Amino acid sequence: MKALKLIIIAIFLFSGASQAQLSINVHIGSPPQWGPAGYSDVRYYYLPDVEAYYDIHNSTFIYIEGRNWVHRKYLPSRYRNYDLYNGYKVVMSDYRGNTPYIHYKDYKTKYAKGYRGHFQENIGRRNDNGYSNQRRIQENHSNRVVQVNNKKNNNESKRNEGHGNEGKRNEGHGNDKGRK
C-alpha cells in the first residue's frame, strides 16, 4: 500500500514537473588574474615551468607529490618564487573531465619546461616590473596629470618671460643727466 502511494505521488510530481522549469546554479570558480585572457570556457591550464595543472573551477593546483597527484591551493614550496603572471599557461580547451594529468606524459613532452607559445595577455596583466594592470592604469593617469601640469607650468613660464622685464625695456628713458 505504501509503495502504491509513493508511485502515485511520484507520477503526480513528474506530471506537474513537466510544465515547471528547474533552475540549478553551479558555482564555477573564476579564472585567476594571472590566467590568460580570452578563455572563459576552460577548466584547466597546464603550467610547463612547474609541471603542474591549475583547476579553475576549484582554484587549486594539481601536481605530483611523491607518487601521487595532489590538489592544493598553493604550489609546492620549491616554486614559491615562481611568477605565475610571466609563466606560460597551456590552455586545455580540448579536455573535459576531472583528471587532466592522464595526458601528463604527452604534455610534459610537448610543452617542456621553458616552453613559450604565442603571446599571452593575462586577465589582470602585469609587466616584468611586477605591476598589475590596475596599478599601471592608475600610474599612467597620474603621469598624464603630471605631464599636463608640467606643460601648463612651462607655458606659463614662457608667457611670463616677457613680463617683469619692463625695467630693461625702459632703460634709457627718463633722466639723461649723466650722459654727455
Rg (CA), the chain: 34
Q: How much is the pLDDT for 146?
A: 40
Q: How much is the pLDDT for 151?
A: 47
Taking the alpha carbons of 14, 19, 25, 31 in that order, is the dihedral positive or negative? positive
Q: How much is the pLDDT for 7?
A: 66
pTM above 0.75, yes or no: no
Position 122, amino acid:
N
Per-position pLDDT tens, the chain of length 180: 666 565 666 565 555 554 545 444 444 678 999 999 999 889 999 999 999 999 999 999 999 999 999 999 999 999 999 999 999 999 999 899 999 999 999 999 999 999 999 999 999 865 555 444 444 444 444 444 344 444 444 555 555 555 544 444 444 444 444 444
Contact 83, 110 (CB under 8 A): no
- CA 148 – CA 155 distance, rounded (Å): 11
SS3 content of the chain, % helix, strand, coil (to 5): 35, 15, 50
- The DSSP H or E segment spanning 45 is strand 44-47
Cell numbers 585567476: residue: 32
Q: How much is the pLDDT for 95?
A: 93
Q: How many CB atoms lie within 10 A of CB 66?
A: 6
- CA 99 – CA 121 distance, rounded (Å): 26
Q: How much is the pLDDT for 170?
A: 44
DSSP line for 56-102? TTTTEEEEEETTEEEEESS--GGGTT--TTTS--EE-TT--SS-GGG
- The DSSP H or E segment spanning 52 is strand 52-55
Q: How much is the pLDDT for 27?
A: 45
Q: How much is the pLDDT for 134?
A: 42
Q: How much is the pLDDT for 84?
A: 96
Q: How much is the pLDDT for 40?
A: 85
Cα of first residue to Cα of last residue in the chain, in angstroms, is 139
- CA 87 – CA 48 distance, rounded (Å): 8
